[in-house]
C-alpha cells in the first residue's frame, strides 16, 4: 500500500521560511520513473501545482515561485522536503504531497499552513 504524509508547522510568521516534509511508504526513489510533488490549495480556492522531484534528481518548479522553493529528497528515509522562503499571508494554504510524474495517483492528507 502506498501512502504519503505531510508534516511541518501549522503556523509561520511572515518572512520566515517554511519547511515541510513528505514521508512516504510503499515505493522508493531507487525505482526508475518515480516522482514526488507538492500542490497547494488556499482556503476555498483552486489547486496550484508547486514542484516535482524525480528519481533521477531532476527537479521542476512553478516559475512564479521558483526563486522561493527548493526540494530535497532523502532516499534512505523515503522523504521529500519542500522549503519555501519569505512566507507571506497569501501563502496560507493546505499543502499536499503527491506521487506521480504526470497523473497524481496518490495524495497525502494535506497539512494546513497559516502565515500570520
Interaction site with another protein (CB under 8 A): 46-49, 52, 60-64, 96, 101-105, 107-110
- C-alpha to C-alpha distance for 99 and 116, rounded to whole angstroms: 30
Residue closer to another protein (CB basis): 60 or 85: 60
Q: What minimum distance in Å lies between the beta carbon of 107 and another protein?
A: 4
Q: What minimum distance in Å lies between the beta carbon of 103 and another protein?
A: 4
Q: What minimum distance in Å lies between the beta carbon of 45 and another protein?
A: 8
Q: Say how many C-beta atoms besides its own lie within 10 A of residue 23's C-beta.
A: 17
Exposure of 64 in the CB half-sphere (CA atoms within 13 A): 4
Residue closer to another protein (CB basis): 16 or 60: 60
Q: Say how many C-beta atoms besides its own lie within 10 A of residue 80's C-beta.
A: 27
60: left (phi over 0), alpha (psi -120 to 50) or beta: beta
Residue closer to another protein (CB basis): 16 or 92: 92
Q: What minimum distance in Å lies between the beta carbon of 38 and another protein?
A: 11
Dmax of the chain from CA atoms?
A: 40
Residue closer to another protein (CB basis): 16 or 21: 21
Amino acid at each position: 500500500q502506498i501512502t504519503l504524509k505531510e508534516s511541518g508547522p501549522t503556523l509561520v510568521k511572515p518572512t520566515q521560511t517554511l519547511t515541510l516534509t513528505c514521508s512516504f511508504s510503499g515505493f522508493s526513489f531507487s525505482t526508475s520513473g518515480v516522482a514526488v510533488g507538492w500542490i497547494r490549495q488556499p482556503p476555498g480556492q483552486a489547486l496550484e501545482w508547486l514542484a516535482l522531484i524525480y528519481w533521477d534528481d531532476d527537479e521542476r518548479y512553478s516559475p512564479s515561485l521558483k526563486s522561493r522553493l527548493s526540494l530535497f529528497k532523502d532516499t534512505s528515509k523515503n522523504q521529500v522536503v519542500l522549503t519555501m522562503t519569505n512566507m507571506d499571508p497569501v501563502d496560507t494554504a493546505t499543502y499536499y504531497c503527491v506521487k506521480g510524474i504526470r497523473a497524481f495517483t496518490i495524495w497525502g492528507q494535506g497539512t494546513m499552513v497559516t502565515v500570520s
